[in-house]
C-alpha cells in the first residue's frame, strides 16, 4: 500500500467519522422538521429508498412482515454487503459494517417516534401509516417504543464506530506491513 492510498483511505474514514458525529446531533430525537445536514440527508435518502423497497419485497409474506420489511431491508442491505465483501476479502467490509450501524441508527429514530408521531412521513401519508406505531400498537408495546429506539440507536452507533475503528486499523496495519517489505 502506498502513502497516497493510505491518505485517501484515511480521508474516507474521516468522512465516515464526520457522519458518525452528526448522527447524535441530528438523528437522536424525532422532530417535525427533520432538518439534516446535506451529507446526512443524502445518506438518509438512500436508506429511505432501500426501506421503501423492503415494504414491497416483504409484502408477499403478510401484513406484519410487510410493515417490518422496510426497516428489515434497510438493515439487511448493508449487512448483505458486509457478507459479500468479507467473503471476497474486500477492505470495504469495514465500510459495510459502518453503514449497517448507520442504518440501525436511522431505524432507531423511527422506532422512537412510534409513541410521539412527530416525523414527517413519505408523501405526507397519515400517521396511520407509521410502521413502528402500527407494529408496537399491534403487539401492545407502544410504551416501549422510545426505549427500544434508544437500544437500537446506541447499538447502531457502536457498530458504526467499530466499522471505522476496524477499517482504520486494517489500512494502517497493511501500510506498516508493506512499508517493512520495501
What pLDDT, on a 0 to 100 scale, did the predictor assign at position 129?
79
| Percent of the chain topping pLDDT 90 | 73
Domain that holds residue 144: 3-181
Q: Is 137 exposed, middle or buried (0-12, 13-18, 19+ CB in 10 A)?
A: middle
pLDDT at 125: 56
What is the per-residue pLDDT across 160-178, written as a single tens digit (0 to 9) for each?
999 999 999 999 998 998 8
Identify the segments of the chain with pLDDT beneath 50.
none
Cα–Cα distances (Å) from 2 to 9, 102, 134, 175, 176, in that order, read 11, 30, 52, 7, 10
Q: What is the DSSP letter of 127?
A: G
Read off the C-alpha cell for 5: 492510498
Residue 47 CA: distances (Å) to CA of 4, 53, 99, 107, 138: 31, 10, 10, 9, 25
pLDDT at 28: 86
Residue 176 in contact with residue 15, Cβ under 8 Å?
no
Domain count, the chain: 1
Task: Return the number of other C-beta atoms located less than 10 Å from residue 173's C-beta.
Answer: 11
The residue among 81, 78, 68, 71 whose CA lies nearest residue 100 is 78
Residue 146: per-residue pLDDT:
95
The DSSP result for 155-180, as a single string, is: HHHHHHHHHHHHHHHHHHHHHHHHHH
Amino acid at each position: 500500500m502506498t502513502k497516497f492510498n493510505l491518505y485517501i483511505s484515511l480521508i474516507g474514514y474521516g468522512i465516515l467519522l464526520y457522519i458518525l458525529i452528526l448522527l447524535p446531533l441530528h438523528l437522536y430525537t424525532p422532530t417535525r422538521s427533520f432538518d439534516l445536514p446535506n451529507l446526512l440527508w443524502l445518506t438518509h435518502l438512500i436508506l429511505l429508498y432501500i426501506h421503501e423497497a423492503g415494504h414491497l419485497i416483504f409484502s408477499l409474506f403478510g401484513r406484519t412482515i410487510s410493515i417490518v420489511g422496510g426497516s428489515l431491508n434497510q438493515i439487511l442491505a448493508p449487512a448483505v454487503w458486509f457478507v459479500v465483501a468479507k467473503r471476497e476479502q474486500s477492505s470495504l467490509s469495514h465500510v459495510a459494517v459502518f453503514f449497517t450501524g448507520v442504518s440501525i441508527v436511522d431505524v432507531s429514530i423511527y422506532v422512537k417516534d412510534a409513541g410521539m408521531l412527530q416525523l414527517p412521513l413519505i408523501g405526507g401519508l397519515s400517521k396511520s401509516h407509521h410502521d413502528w406505531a402500527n407494529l408496537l400498537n399491534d403487539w401492545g408495546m407502544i410504551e416501549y417504543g422510545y426505549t427500544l429506539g434508544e437500544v437500537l440507536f446506541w447499538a447502531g452507533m457502536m457498530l458504526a464506530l467499530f466499522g471505522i475503528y476496524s477499517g482504520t486499523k486494517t489500512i494502517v496495519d497493511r501500510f506498516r506491513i508493506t512499508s517493512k517489505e520495501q
